[in-house]
Structures are given as C-alpha cells and as structure tokens.
Amino acid sequence: MFRTLHPLLVLTAILFFIPSLKAQVDVSATGGTTAAAYATLKAAFDEVNAGTHQGAIVITIGGNTTETATATLNASGSGGASYSNVFIGPGIGVNAVVSGNINSGPVIKLNGSNNVTINGSNNFSTTRNLTITNTSTVSANVLQIGSAGTTPIHDVIVKNTIVVNGSNNSTAILVGDAAVVGSPGYFNYITFQNNSIRKAYIGIYVYAVVAAANGNVLVDGNYMNSGGADAIRLVGVYGQGVNGFVIRNNYIGNFESTSAEFDRAIWLATATTNATITNNTITGLSYSGTSSYAPIGINISPGVTNSNIDITGNTISNLSSSGTYLPTGIFLYSAMSSAIINNNKISNLKNTNTAGYGAAGILLQTSTNAADVRVQNNFVWDIAGYGSNGYDANDNGNGIVIDGGGGYNINFNTVVLNTNQTLAGGHRASCLLVTQNVTAAGALGLRNNIFANLQTVGNANSRLAISNLSTAGSGVFSAIDRNVYFSTSTNLSSTGTNASITNTLAQLQTSLGGNANSLNIQPVFVGANDLHLNRDLNTAIDGKATPIGGIGTDIDGEARNAATPDPGADEFIPCPVITVNTQPQPVNICATDNTSFGITATNALTYQWQADDGSGFVDIANSALYAGATTNSLTLTNVPVANNGFVYRCVVTAGTGCNPVNSDPAVLTVGTPVAISADPADATISHLDNASFTVTNTGSGPFTYQWQVDDGGGFADLANTGVYSTVNTATLTITGATVAMNGYQYRCRVTACGSVTSNAATLTVNQLAQTLNFATQTNGGTVTVTYGDPVINGAASASSGLAATYTSGNAAVVDVNATGQVTIIGAGSTTITVSQAGDAVYLPATNISFTVTVQPKEITVNAGSLTKIYGDSDPSFTYTVNTPLLGGDVFTGALDRDPGENTGMYQILQNTLTAGPNYNITFNSNILTITPKDLTVTADDKTRQYGVANPPLTLTYSGFAFTDDPSVLTTAPVASTFAVPTSWPGDYPITIAGGTSANYTFTFVPGKLTVEAILLNIHEQPSGSMICADARATFNTAVTVTPSIAPVTYQWQYSADGSTGWSDLSQASTASFQTKANTPSGFYRCKFTVPGTDFYSQPAELTMFPLPGIRAAKSNDIDCAFNSARLGASGGVSYQWTPAGGLDNANSPNPIATPDRTTTYLVTGTDGNGCKGSDRITVTYTPSEYNVPNAFTPNNDGKNDCFGVRHWQKVTDFSLSIYNRYGARIFHTTDVSKCWDGTINGVPQATGSFVYYIKCMAPCGLIERKGSFLLMR
C-alpha cells in the first residue's frame, strides 16, 4: 500500500529548514540523520542510497540545481538504502529548476524505488512550480522509472511538474527497466498527473514485460500540447505490454509536423491489455510533407485477443496531412479483439494532397474475424480529402472505414460529411466505407446509425452515405437495419461501380440487404459543428431506432427510450409548443431609476433576456445593472441615461435543441440631464475676418448659455460688446478679429437640468498674404546673355510695400545687389530668387525668380605645321589666337596630334588646350610630317661541315628606332652565297640584296661562309627483351653528329641468327623501334646513314612467350529462383574479373555474382611468365521484384527512411528478420508491407551494419534472401 506523507508534515519539514539553508536541496527524515542540506538532488539521493537518511523522507528543492550526472534513487533495501516513502518537491513559494546536460540517460532515475512522490506544486495545489529538464541533445531523457531486476517498482506518483527534454529526438519519461533505457520492466501503480511534458520524441513511454498483473499505470490530466521548439515529435503516450493502463483527461497535440513519420497522440502497442482511454482532448496534429505519412489520434495495435480496450469520451480534432496516407482519428489494427469505441467526438480531419488521398474518422483494420469491437454513440464529422474515384481506405475522406477483419458492431453513431472535397468529379466520399479487404460473411452489424453526406461538390456519381466493397457482398452484414441514410447527391449506397449506385431506399435494400426499417431522410442538426439533433425539426426520425442491449444512454449520458430510442448518437425529445401569455411592456423612467420587464409563457423551460442598443439584440448577463437575466422577470437597477431607447425582449425555449420563441419587444425610455453632445470646434481666420463658435447639447430644456473667453489670463464671461455678439446663445459671433486675438480660447456653460461646460475651442487668426512682382523680368522666365555682357535689371516690388531680398543661386555665374542689379561673373546657368519675409501683419510672400543663362565667348585657335625624322621625339606644338582673352583669363592644357610614328602626315589636335568654361574654342588644325630613318644591314659569318647543306644565312641590323626589329620591314633584305654542299672547305662571300620599308633606307655590309668536315658517335645501344605474344618490345638508340646540323637517317633491320640474313624492316626509320604483336623471336639492329657513310648498332635479341588459354564458365543465370551465380575460370595462375560490381571477390577463380541486370563478365588470367589471356561469360538477368536494398537513411526526409521489401508482390508465407551485429533479432514481421524504421523500442540506432533473412513463397517457388545492409545517419 502506498504510504503518503501528510501535507502538514511535509510543510512543517520544509518550513523548519528555510531559515538555516545554504544549499539548494534539503532533506528531512524520521530516521538516521534527520536533517541535512545538499547542493544537488543527486547528492541528496546518494546519501539516501547510503542509508544516511531513513524512514519517511522529505526532499525539498529550495532553488535551481545543476546535476552533472543522473540523480539515481535506489530501492529501499538495496545497499544501505532504508526508507518507507520519499516525497520530492519545491519549497513553499519556490519556483525551482532541476537541470542537467546528460547524454544517453535521464536527469532522474528511480531504480526500483517504491513509494516515491514528485509533486511540483509549491503550495500543494495544482500549480506547476518544479521544472525538470535535460539540456543535452544526445539521446537525452528526463525521468526514468524502472524496476531493478524482476521486482516490480510500485506506488510512484509524478504530478504538477514541468518536464522538458533537450531535443525531440529522444523520449522525456520512460517507465520500464531501470538498467537499460527503453527496455521492458515490472511495475504497478505508477501515476502521472497534471504535468506539462515538452520537447520529446515520445512524451511518456511505458514498456512492460508481458506478465500477469504487470503494468498498472495512470496518466491523468497531463498537458503534451506545447508547440514550436517545445513540441513533441512522434507520440504523446506510448504503452507496450501494459496490463491496466488508464489514460484520461489529457491534452495532447501541436506536434512537430515536418518529419516524415506517423505522429500518434496515444499509442497502445503490442500486448497492451485492460486499458481505458477516456476524456482526452487531441488536436493540432499534422504532417506537412508529401511522403506516405499522416497523424493518428488514437492508435490501438495490441495484437492479442481479449485486449479489453475502452476508448470513451475523447475529443479528436484538427488532424491534417499533405502526404499520401490518411489522417485518422481512431485506428484499430493487428490481431486483436475486445474493444469499445464509445461517446467520442471526431472532427476536422483533412488530407490536402492533390493526388487524391483520404482521411478517416474511425479506421478498423484488425486481422481477425472475431474482433468483438463495438463502435457506438460517436459523433464523426468534417472529414475530407482532395477526392478520388476509388474506394480504397486512402482514396477519400470517409467517416468510418472497415478495412479488414470482422466481428464489428456499429450502432447508434452519427456520421456527417459536411465539408466539400476539392474534386468536382466522381469522388467516393462515404460516411461508412467497407473495403474489399473485408471478406468474411457477417463481419459487421450496422444498426440505428445516421449516415448523412451533406457535401455539395462532386458529379452525379459522387457523395455516398455508405459504400460496400466487401467480397462477401450484402452477406458481410450480420445485421443492417433502422439506419438513417441521406446524401445531397441522392446517392445512398454503392458496391464499387457507377451502375451499382442506389438512389432510393428500395434500391439500397436490394443492394445491401436488410434495412426494412431504415429511412432516407435528411436529419437536421443543431449546427455544422454540433451533431445534436434539432428537437423541433426531426420528428420523422424520432423513435425510429430499436433497443440494443448494453446501450442505455446516448453520447451525453442521457437515458435512451427503452422501447423506441432515436437513431444516431443523440437521443432527443421533440419540443412542446410554447405560448406567450403575458408580453413585456414599454417603460418610461428617469436616469438612475429602477424598473423591470416580465413575461409569462406555457411550456417554457429556459429564459434569456436580450437588449438591442440599435445594433441588434444581444444576450444580457446578470450585473450591477441587470438581475434575473435568465428568469421570466428582468430587473434594472440605477438605470443610466445611456440605456434610453434600448429595446428589450425575452428568448424562451422548451429546452436544449428546441427552437427559441422571441417575446414582443419593449422600449425603455430614460430621461437625460443636460450634456454637451458637440463641443465648439476650433476656428481659423485671417486678420480682420469674422468667426463663430457653436455648442450642441442634449437633455431636457429650456437651456441657458454663457460664452467665456481665455485671453491668457483665465476664462471670463463675455458680454455683447466690441467684436463679440450673441454671447448668450448656442452660437458666439466674432466680427473683425485681429492678429492680437490669435490663440484665444472660447467655451460655453450650458444650464438646464444641471450645468455643464463645453471643452474650449481655439481661435487662430492668421496674418495677411502679400505678393512679389518683377519690374522688367518674368517670374519663371529665362534671360540668356554672353560672357562679358553688361548688367541685367532684376528689380522687384512687394504688394505690402515691404523691401524685397535678392539671392543668386550661383555666385560663380552671376552676382545680384540689394536693388536687384545682376552682374555677369562666368558662363553657366543659375536662378535669381526674390523673397519677402513678412512682419506681424503680413505673411511671408511666395518667392519669385528668373533664370540667367550665361553662354561662353567664341574664339579661334590656329595650329602651326611641323616636321621630324622617324624615331625622333615630337617638336613643340605652336598656335595663334584671333582674339585676346578677357581680363586675366589664360589658356591651359596643350595641343596633341593623331597617334602613330610611321613616316607620313599626322593631323595636329586641340587635345586639352582650353581657355576655361567661359570660352568656346574654334580650333584650326595643321600637319606634322615624319621622314624615313637610315638602317645598316650586316651579313653574319657562318661555318658548316663539308658535304652538308649551307646553314641558314642571317643578318644583323643596326639603327632600328623604338623597339623595331626586322619583322617591321615590308620586305626584308636577303643574304646569299654561291657555295654548295660539295664545295671544298674554305671561305665563301655572303652578299645582301633587296629589302623595302616605308620607315627606313638601307646600307649593306657583306659576310663569309666557312665549310668544315662531319663526325658520328653512337652513345646508346639497343637492349634485348623478353615479352608475351600480345605485347610489344621497344628498341632504342641514340647518336651524336658533328657538326650537329648534319642529317642522320635510321633503318632498323632483322636477322634470325644475329649474324646473317639482315633485312630492312618497314616503318622502322626512327631512333626508336616498337615491334608489333606476335613478332617472331630473333635479333634487331639499327643502320645510321650520314652523307656518304653508314654505321650499325649492336644486335639486340627478342624472346617471345605464347599467351595462356583462359576459359570462363557460370553455374546458372539470375531469375526469380536465383539471386546469385557462381563463376569459374581456368588456364592461369591468377585472375581478375570485371566488372567487379556485384562480385563477392573479383580476384577469385570462382566468385559469386549478384548482378542487377544482364551482365557480361571479362576474366583476365595470368600465367607463370606473366602473360595474360581472357575470356567472357554472360550472366542473363531476368528482372525480378524480389530484390533487397543494401542501405537506408532514416533521417525523416521522406526518402529511403525505412528498410524492407514493400515492393515485393504476390508472395505468401512471408518472413523478414533483422539482427544486430551481436546476433540478436531486433525486428521481425510476417507482413510484407511492414518495414524497420531504424529504432529499437523507439530509440534510434546509430550508423552501422545489420543482417537480414527473408523467406517466402513466390510464383516461381521458394525465395530465400539473406545478407547485410547499412543504416546511415
């Protein structure tokens, strides 16, 4: 039995330590050391574990702590620990944070420690004043509650606490085994209540060893709906193997929406039994990607019979996906049985993917035909997808979907499709859909339901109340009757084709069977989001259901009629007729008086008084003014004037769901005291103008008025004198106001029923306007003159007679004096502006202006003619001017000429020569003439070997200008000699002739040619070689000749024995010779020829080895039955296979090949001489769908996130197992559509290699696949 400390004892302990504490954590105990203080929670736990503190222990957290390692509390009896119970909480009035940056573990661990309470309230209420947070982002957890060994941990309560994890990649709270995070454990009576759980992969993770009476857990009133950075990512509450799981009153939602995965608010997984999920609010789950994912509100997959799951009173709304899977409110699947889905409200489930995917309010997909699932008293509405003409569960937004199994009873539900899908064609949205995956006869009973499809978008073959695609046809229904069917398209049912659509109840009875007492009537609901039946407008379906044992109440807990209940989830009673006997009457009162309105009516059950202040009737609530707002008599106390003219009425109903009856309206008249309704307005006039001020008031007259003025000395009453008149009326008149009255304020005191003074109005008296006018110029005009012209007259006068002021916009162009005379300074354009600033009476005048444009003076400059020799510097340029410059003006800059240095005539240019901006220069050009330069050309002396051709004859030049060289000559001079190769040694004259150039004249100097003899030296001999038959040998030689310009020719020769029979080889006339393939063995040498002489290299021997005979073979081709083939090679001592991809060992003589297409393999073998031979073998690949990936990347990007073979088709007896590197099986499925997401018990696995084994039967026979694959992150 859990022993809890009395709050007074806890409070006393906390208060006892407050005055003396210096550390953040205080411990009080009834045994051992009774009081101590510690810096951290871990330090306190360590002392409890050591037995320092014993008995009933209270741990008070008086401030923030930083835990450097997990704070672990061991079980009492473990080591020195000895306690009866432990209470942990913040001090009175303290807001505390227990934080740690702990990788791969929790901040707090309860290691088999029983009777422990963590209460985060600092006043023993429901406030949350304790935060426990792990700031690590590496496999971080916040709280781990676990059993030590097989001894259950029990009686643990965590309440009123804020739990924040470091990232949403790992779980916040775990219940299971204490030794290994995420492993199953033993536990009972674990409670989580009124906690706020934030930023986690899974909020609360509960994993029990499957054992009798193991796993009793309560999750009550917790908040797991923080958004943004604190959002939960995958699951709010997860249970596996738990026996006795209660999840109630929780608020779950606003999960992270971008990760490619299934978000689930609540998930009861494998072997969870005897669970209750009640009164939870689930909202705001979405998936924003485009992969095959969507959120699920409540996910039930225990996979065991007699699971006993109760899902009652939950509200599930606002689930959406833009991916290719259906958002689902409640989803039951696996080989399970025994569940009830009762009194739930499911709405606003949407799929926005434009390819046409669906949503489902309730989806039943068990794999047993004896599921014993009862779906009753549920509201399902506002379910929609994009729209598709298919009948699969994921094609459209459907209310309830039966997609497998049997043993379902669907009774007393209200399912309404009242949100349009986008597709305007033949979409198949159905209130109830039975898919082709339901095959058993009598799989479901269907009675007393309302199926109303109110959608208005779609063609004539769309929008169905019910669709039955079961292969059992109408035999799928164990019972089907007393349902209400309606569709705005008139399409009541379909069995999968347009031709099978029924439009009448008789047709539906023929198609579906049964339904003898069913109705085709449109039900009327209280509202679009309230599926309670309108009590006034549904008499046609009142009492048309039949009693069903065990269903005695409706969705609201109201009793159903024992004999003639109503169809749908809402039991209603038709409304009686209301008769108003006495109507409220008009009332006349004075302000602050009291009054009342009354009504009497028969059959009235509720009253609501309303008031209309002119903008429509609104409900009245009890207040200082109103009493009895929901009774038949409304009392008004101290009525304000503001309620004058209000109209009152009473809205009477016969009960919830009944249409209201409005009484006659009654007007309230309230007399009002005098009040200012419109203050006098400010007035603005000019000097000596007239003005008036008017006040408007309300109330009962007659009224007296007295105007007052404040001239700066305070307000005083006015009399009808001077400029003032009508001072005792609602309008004050002022005649001939002066500038001196500027800023005076005026107000009026009005007297009738009371006295009130208006707000003051200000009189603004503006100065008079004046104008300026030119004497000779035009405002805005332009005067154009030339630099050097005389003064311009710019004088002007003001209409006020005040003196004008003159300003030049650019004093460098013109200057202006006080009388408006303008003097020209330089070329350009500027503005002369005239202004008058005004005085006490006159306002400043609007400026006037005119523009003065001063044009430059025209002059002529004549350049002189010049001459120079090519290559010389330019002479100085000269010029003359036709007109002298004015005043001290001077020329700047210099003349230039056209570019070029070749002989010829060049025009002289103005270049930068200028007299400044005040002059325009007309420039007359002239000519610079360049004449040719003298150039000396000398023939260079030459020497050559006797018997060879003359060397190139060259010339040396002297006298080039600039960087010229012979390349600039039009025609270069030519050197020549009469010596030929056979000329005797000696000297021969070299003469020069020809040559032309525009820039040069030539002077020639002759040279001489000397003839010498020739020498040849062989300094590289060819070497012998041993090669394979397919190789080539290369023989090299090198010689030196003197003189080096003497020509040498090469000719390679062959001899079988190296001494006789030498013959020339073709295409062998270079210093290097390469043999061809299969060249015979023998000897090779090179013959060198210079003019008149032959030389020979030493012979080199070539030895040729034959190529080995390599042969390739295969064991089989690749097809459905074989996913590999063994290759074979012979004839060599080593081998190399290509392509190497798909081979287990490319250097083996017998590799295993696993190609993914028909592949020809080349094997190259090497013999003992190093010679290579090759052969090819083709492995034919017959495409098969039974291939296995070798890696996957579960990074939630929507690509390759899951390892499996979901693409395999037409397989039976399927089995997939995955093992880690230690040989432990970590995943197994017999469903080919399932795959591994890279986690073990919700914990993501690191990058590494894993092993798979797959076995199944395919059309081609038995298939076995095994191998390894890589998980990459």
Per residue in 606-662, pLDDT (tens digit) is 999 999 999 999 999 999 999 999 999 999 999 998 898 999 999 999 887 788 999
Q: How far is Cα 1148 from Cα 1127, in angstroms, rounded to an integer?
A: 9
pLDDT at 985: 65
Q: How confident is the model at residue 886 (pLDDT cuts 50, 70, 90)?
A: confident
∠ CA 313-319-321 to the nearest 5 degrees?
A: 155
- Confidence band for 701, pLDDT divided at 50, 70 and 90: low
Residue 747 burial class via C-beta count within 10 angstroms: exposed 0-12, middle 13-18, buried 19 and up: buried
Nearest to 968 by CA among 947, 996, 1006, 927: 996
> Taking the CB of residue 813, how many other CB atoms lie within 10 A of it?
21
pLDDT digits (tens, 9 = 90+) for 968-1011: 999 999 999 988 887 766 788 999 999 999 999 999 999 999 87
Q: Buried (b) or exposed (e) across 295-316, using 16+ Cβ within 10 A?
A: bbbbbbbbebeebbbbbbbbbb
567/726 Cα distance (integer angstroms): 80
Where residue 15 falls among pLDDT bands split at 50, 70, 90? Answer: very low
Looking at residue 66, its pLDDT comes to 97
- Position 6 confidence tier, pLDDT thresholds 50, 70, 90: very low
pLDDT in tens, 1036-1059: 999 988 767 777 889 999 998 988
pLDDT at 16: 35
pLDDT above 90: residue 1169:
no
What are 539-549's pLDDT values in tens digits? 999 999 999 99
Q: What is the pLDDT of residue 1092?
A: 57
Q: 183-194: per-residue pLDDT in tens?
A: 999 999 999 999
Q: How confident is the model at residue 670, as a pLDDT?
A: 82
496: amino acid identity, one letter: G
**Averaged pLDDT, 910-914:** 93
Distance from C-alpha of 1138 to C-alpha of 1160, rounded to nearest angstrom = 9
Tokens of 933: 């330069």
Buried b (16+ CB within 10 A) or exposed e, 796-812: bbbebebebbbebeeee
Calpha distance 878→30 (Å, rounded) = 120
What pLDDT was estimated at residue 500? 95
> Quick one: average pLDDT of 360-368?
97
> How confident is the model over 1234-1270, as pLDDT tens digits?
999 999 888 899 899 999 999 998 888 888 888 899 9
Q: What is the pLDDT of residue 753?
A: 63
pLDDT of residue 9: 34
Q: How far apart are CA 1022 and CA 1038, in angstroms?
A: 9
pLDDT in tens, 28-74: 999 999 999 999 999 999 999 999 999 999 999 999 999 999 999 99
Phi, psi of 322 (to 5 degrees): -105, 10
pLDDT band at 139 (very low <50, low <70, confident <90, very high): very high
* 945 beta partners: 1012
Lowest mean pLDDT among 7-16, 294-303, 866-875: 7-16
User: Mean pLDDT over residues 471-496, rounded?
Assistant: 97
Please provide the average confidence, as pLDDT, over all residues in the chain. Answer: 92
Instruction: Please give the single-letter amino acid code of residue 1009.
Output: L
Question: Domains of the chain, with CATH numbers?
Answer: 7-256 (2.160.20), 579-671 (2.60.40.10), 675-766 (2.60.40.10), 772-855 (2.60.40.10), 858-931 (2.60.40), 933-1012 (3.10.430.110), 1015-1105 (2.60.40.10), 1111-1179 (2.60.40), 1191-1271 (2.60.40)
The runs of H, that is alpha helices, within 870-1008 are none
d(CA 1034, CA 744): 120
Give the model's confidence band at 1217: pLDDT under 50 very low, under 70 low, under 90 confident, else very high.
Answer: very high
Burial of 1241 (0-12, 13-18, 19+ CB in 10 A): middle
CA distances to 311, 374, 398 from 332, in Å: 11, 12, 16
Determine the pLDDT at residue 1120: 76
